[in-house]
Amino acid sequence: MSLVEVQHQGHAQGMIQRAMAAGRLPHAYLFHGPDGVGKEMLARRLAQRLLCSQPGEIEVTASEREAVGLDHLSDGCGRCEDCRAVQADTHPDLHLIHRHLNRDHPDPVIRKRKGLDISIEVVRYFLIDKAGLTSLRGRAKVFVVREADRITPPAQNALLKTLEEPPPDTYLVLLVELLDRMLPTTVSRCQAVRFDPLPVQFVMDRLGQLVPGLPKSQVRWHAGVSAGSLGAALEQIEEGLFELNERLIQDLAWFPAKDDALTSQGLLDEAKALGALYRKRDPDISDTEAVRRAVKTILKLFACWYADMVRAAGGRKEDVINASSGSVVAKAAAQIGAEPAANAVQRIAQAERQLAQNVNTQLLLDALLIDLARLGHKETVHVS
Ligand SMILES: [Zn+2]
């Protein structure tokens, strides 16, 4: 793997490469954009370039030249001991900081804590103190912080000095989804680099390679629902989200004609099953939080269904994500109509916002189903 293998992030690549070519590589980067589009991959490739013993220039293809805006890219050699150590995740000067590092902290009290955020103790011990030491292999020290928006405000404050005046040969790359989740004082001390969603066709191609045997209709569905995030699409496959969606669609297609088809209890049961999977993946989160995340996923599938209704009613059949349920989509779209379907998408977005504000999930789903039923009867629902 090399820098050029990070695909469809020409904007980010170009910014970093131009800074490197000018000899002005910032010491603190803030990579922001959807998860699963290559932020961590590019951060690791940059680390490889900085730690490599024989970095060189590589020529780029015509399409890459267009995306990045340069004829050559500076990259790690991919063969030396340092490059191989970076790739194997064993390089002593590449530090990956994440919220589960509390388990490796020398203080037993910190070790017992749940890894829900990146605490000041973790930032001090694994980042600030380590940045103050000389690099072990003599070239640089690179700190990549995963989910940097989970760095607590006191820890962000403690980090300000390191961001502003990093010790020699120290590079930090903070990874976040949304820039506005960071303290402005942190953002102002970093060079922000935007990452874009990946093209749906690229996600489809990669899914075809990574999950051989996945039916074409599902490849297309996963790429569409993930909204250009390869990482999210792979998680969806692991979660069995296509199958969950098939069950939801069965009910949604007949809603509200068969008004017992969808109940908040039924949805909560699905959310609990999915939430158990989320907890397996991230044992530090509580049951309530796991269910809340699962409800968020279910709302995403709902939104996708109603957005399909809008597309189908508007004659944009080729853009329909639930294309494998084609005839059901067409029938349901004809029944509900474009305007109420668009209204439903707005109403679901409102429910998503309420969920983020910790509104009780059952009440939230009850209210949502009442409104979706009204929309099914062509009433208008006010969305605040
Ligand atoms: Zn190398």
State in Å: Cα 83 to ligand 1 middle. Answer: 4
Integer Cα distance of 255 and 277 in angstroms:
28
Give the pairing type, strands 170-176 and 28-32. parallel
State in Å: Cα 234 to ligand 1 middle. Answer: 30
State in Å: Cα 141 to ligand 1 middle. Answer: 15
State in Å: Cα 327 to ligand 1 middle. Answer: 54
State in Å: Cα 51 to ligand 1 middle. Answer: 7
Kindly list the domain boundaries of the chain, sorted by start residue: 3-194, 240-376
CB 376 within 8 A of CB 340: yes
State in Å: Cα 95 to ligand 1 middle. Answer: 18
- The CATH code of domain 240-376 reads 1.20.272
Fold exhibited by the domain 3-194: Rossmann fold (3.40.50)
Neighbour-count burial of 90, counting CB atoms closer than 10 A to its CB (0-12 exposed, 13-18 middle, 19+ buried): exposed
Q: Exposure string (b/e) for 192-215, b if CB count within 10 Å is 16 or more?
A: bbebebbebeebbebbeeeeeeee
State in Å: Cα 39 to ligand 1 middle. Answer: 21
DSSP class per residue in 201-218? HHHHHHHHHHSTT--HHH
**pLDDT given for residue 61 in this prediction:** 78
Integer Cα distance of 365 and 155 in angstroms:
36
Integer Cα distance of 367 and 384 in angstroms:
14
**pLDDT given for residue 70 in this prediction:** 83
pTM: 0.89
Across the 384 residues of the chain, what is the mean pLDDT of every consecutive 10-residue run?
Answer: 65 92 95 95 95 91 78 91 96 97 96 94 98 95 97 97 94 96 96 94 93 94 94 95 94 78 92 96 93 96 95 89 88 90 96 93 95 90 88
DSSP class per residue in 235-264? HHHHHTHHHHHHHHHHHHHTTTTSTTS--H
State in Å: Cα 88 to ligand 1 middle. Answer: 13
